[in-house]
Amino acid sequence: MKCHVIDALEFVGGQCSALYPEKPIYDIPAYPTIMAEELITKLKEQAAPFAPTYHLNQQVIGFRKQENGTFDVVTSKDIIINTKAIIIAAGCGSFGPNRPPLDNIRAYEGTSVFYSVRNKIAFADKSIVIAGGGDSAIDWAIELSAIARSITVVHRRNKFRCAPESTSKMEQLVALGKIHIAAPYQLHQLHGENGNLESVDLIDFESSLKNIKCDILLPFFGLSMDLGPILEWNLHMEKKYLSVQSDSMQTSIPGVYAIGDIINYPGKLKLILTGFAEAAIAAHSIYNLVYPDQPLHFEYSTTKGVKTDEKV
Ligand SMILES: Cc1cc2nc3c(=O)[nH]c(=O)nc-3n(C[C@H](O)[C@H](O)[C@H](O)COP(=O)(O)OP(=O)(O)OC[C@H]3O[C@@H](n4cnc5c(N)ncnc54)[C@H](O)[C@@H]3O)c2cc1C
């Protein structure tokens, strides 16, 4: 079977990558301890021979049943994927950044405005404004100060909400002129052209403005989660959880399956381990839908192996 993976985030990994990439997990079988991000790297590696197509940074907004029984899945980037089966593994809903309320911010996203740092080398020799006062803002200000041309941290209070070691490290870098602090200030307006930022206006409580020249803005105001469109898909739900048949993971709509934190059934555990097992149950059930004329002969991976020389 072939698989397309769609996620609202600009990277795969759900909660592991978005919420706790550097936390150790202790209950993944065969790993006495593994960092969440490392688990995701290994899962991607394990999925690679099956050549999944990833569609990131876009939300699934809905699906339409076709006359031939297949579904058209529609994303927020107007991509339409025709499929015989859908698996909803939407956790607590789409993750999205908490955007600062600036009129034209979306025009700069992906070129000058980023809500996470995936490849820090891309920020070498850039003039960067980092907005926020928590751990992410301060940790990245410290980290990027080693390679950026300039770093300005904008925060609406004079006090930062981060680990005390980070505060003292930042103070040292401020004293060395590697980091500049603009506080108490808030982001007010962006200036630039064609998605390329040239400067940012900041405003304080007395409404006086300050302009900072910059190429990059990194707003770190946390992530929000939103079940959003899923609530409108006419799937049976109980208390915001999708109901599934526990022997197949099928939802109330035939051909639409659900696994992971978004589902509930008697005895459900919200664990990664449980999600893995639910994915296997759903995949086995879906095989009959994708290949109705080919009976599925249950085989162990030790017997069957993984086909690396051809597209599966
Ligand atoms: C701090 C913390 C520590 C944890 N520690 C452990 C642990 O030690 N062991 C353990 O087993 N579990 C742990 N968990 C729980 C574990 O992370 C979850 O059980 C697991 O991530 C659930 O996986 P999931 O795929 O169901 O959902 P998620 O990981 O939430 O992923 C859902 C994904 O779906 C995307 N999405 C949702 N709706 C849409 C849409 N409409 N369109 C596109 N994309 C969409 C979201 O953006 C998200 O990326 C922890 C959780 C937290 C928060």
Under the banding of pLDDT at 50, 70 and 90, the label for residue 72 is very high
Q: Give the model's pLDDT for residue 309.
A: 52
Retrieve residue 92's tokens: 């607590």
Q: Is the pLDDT of residue 311 over 70?
A: no
Average pLDDT over residues 67-86: 96
281 lines ligand 1 (CB under 6 A): no
| Average pLDDT, rounded, for the chain | 94
Tens digit of pLDDT for each residue in 166-189?
Answer: 999 999 999 999 999 999 999 999
Please tell me the predicted confidence (pLDDT) of residue 312.
Answer: 39
Q: Rounded CA gap, 213 and 219, in Å?
A: 16
Please report the atom of ligand 1 found closest to the CA of residue 270: 19
Pick the atom of ligand 1 nearest to 227's CA.
Answer: 38
Confidence of residue 151 (pLDDT cuts 50, 70, 90): very high
- Provide the pLDDT confidence category of residue 163 given band limits of 50, 70 and 90: confident
Residue 177 corresponds to which tokens in the numbers above?
Answer: 């002129």
Q: Taking a C-beta distance cutoff of 8 angstroms, is the pair 223, 95 a contact?
A: yes
d(CA 286, CA 292): 10
- Residue with the smallest CA separation from ligand 1 atom 45 is 94
Predicted pLDDT at 265? 92
The structure tokens listed for 174 are 């401020």
Please answer whether residues 200 and 212 qualify as being in contact, where contact means their C-beta atoms are separated by less than 8 angstroms.
yes
pLDDT value at position 308? 64
Question: 184 preceded by cis ω (within 30°)?
Answer: yes
Give DSSP secondary structure letters for 272-298: HHHHHHHHHHHHHHHHHHH-TTS----
DSSP state of 164: H
Nearest CA to ligand 1 atom 2: 20
Choose the residue to mutate in 11, 15, 240 for probing ligand 1, maximizing ligand atoms within 8 Å of C-beta: 15
Tokens representing 236 are: 């049976």
The model's pLDDT over 240-296, given as tens digits with 9 standing for 90+, comes to: 899 999 999 999 999 999 999 999 999 999 999 999 999 999 999 999 999 999 998
Half-sphere exposure of 206 toward its Cβ, with a 13 Å CA cutoff? 3
Which amino acid type is present at position 160?
F
Instruction: Say which amino acid occupies 25.
Output: I
